[in-house]
Chain A
Amino acid sequence: MTRHAFLLVGLLAALVATVVSGLVIGAVSIPVADVLSALGGSADAQTRTIVVGLRLPRVLLAAEVGAGLAVAGAVFQALLRNPLAEPYVLGVSSGAAVGAVTAIVLGMTATSMLTLPIAAFIGAIVAITLVLGMAAAAGRGLDTHVLLLAGVVIGAFFNAVILLLVNFADLETFRAAMLWIMGSFNGATQESVTTVAVWVLPALLGLGLLARPLNLLSVGEQSAFHLGVDVRQLKLLLYIGTSLVVGVCVAGSGAIGFVGLVVPHALRLVGGSDHRWLIPACALTGAAFLVFADTIARTVVAPAELPVGVVTALAGVPVFLWLLIRHEEGM
């Protein structure tokens, strides 16, 4: 077995362990044996309600969103040849949140399996187009500083738009909308788990199949072109794929930051930059990371709970700053 395959099996085991502990740990601690029998359908009704009805959707949603955001981060980094690129930092998550909130405020959530993800997807596409457009207008293409500034400014703008939109809403809508800004798995349901799975898993599979041309693109667009990659078409597919993933994840749980930064970076240190390894590894590790972060978020100040975005930001900001400093030093 190659080293990468060995590592992937290890990461899969870690994901399973994190998911199980996410089901075990909570306001009421449930022994592993009872968790397993509840999953098998044989535990008592109360245990089944807690494990299968409450915790399982939450853990599964966190896993899906973690996988999606980590892979989206890795793809953005290769696409922009910038280790600091990430859906949240680039303002793409905020754009998706505007899309989702607009749909909610307009009362279009009745068929939320379709409208909410599509609205968030459109928001994400608009945001990335604006950020790249701003960077291009500044005349320095993919310059790190311009991109990050554009992302921060666009993100701030979209957050203001969200606040503006929810001001017109009733109290319950306001609460729901605030979730999108903070990022939380509190509202996870079986339906949201299914919705995210239906959109995100095929998109992740598609991005994974593009791993080889993505490797070439990460070396430079000109080189990729001359090595036989249809660069324009590839970039279009990647932008659509990542926007879809980010949009649907944000629709499911709100704008959770830094997962797409921390996870790919750690995995590059462990196993290198080959996307044939990096993308599946990001999916597994991102899933485990967010399940773990959410377990912390709902237990550390129990019975109250932290937005999971707070936990990921506390972990992510130091990594971001460290990367920024290293980047400035010319790496």
Chain B
Amino acid sequence: MANSTDEISNFKVVLLGKGCVGKTSLVLRYVVDKFNNNNISTVQASFLKKKLNIDGKRINLAIWDTAGQEQFHALGPIYYRSSQGAVLVYDITDQDSFQKVKTWVKELRKMLGNDVYLVIVGNKIDLEKDRHVSLEEAKEYAEKVGATHCETSAKLNQGVDEMFFTLTKNMLSISEQKQLFNSTLSRQNSQRRNVIVVDDEQEPSMSTSKSCCGSSGA
């Protein structure tokens, strides 16, 4: 009984990117599988949840959209605080948006270190003819900063699911690693600001239901 609830891992994924690169379209395509449709049942596309089941592990993704306008750039840290994954979206027809991604990456690495898994996404590959950001350039950069690179088209539904799947898998592995690290030290990281504290406690219970009590005892 306890296991069923404990199995669920919650991940917070933040969507970053310049305005009009297709962040919202991307997440809407992923969650409700629709594009640019006014009849989309969900009224708001800024906060969306997606339930996943990967390798028998139940995962709840909470995807936070952010305002991409330049004037809200400074608010980024408030958004991506304590998120486990970040999707950095750029428009392949807009070199500027790619430069913006670079600044985000720097910021995220500085603020969250390696705890956050980054995916750099080049969107709008349906506009291949207008491409201004080459695939090679982006891939090279992603490798350099330790991020995964994908190219998608929210309009044509290309590569969207794959991108989120990769992200989730990697977030899961990171959290498992971390949890393993914590359990080996058998010490609770009481860093309050980190939500994962709760999750970490729960995750060991996937393997052994008793670990929960053990950890609390420790």
Whether both chains belong to one complex is answered with no
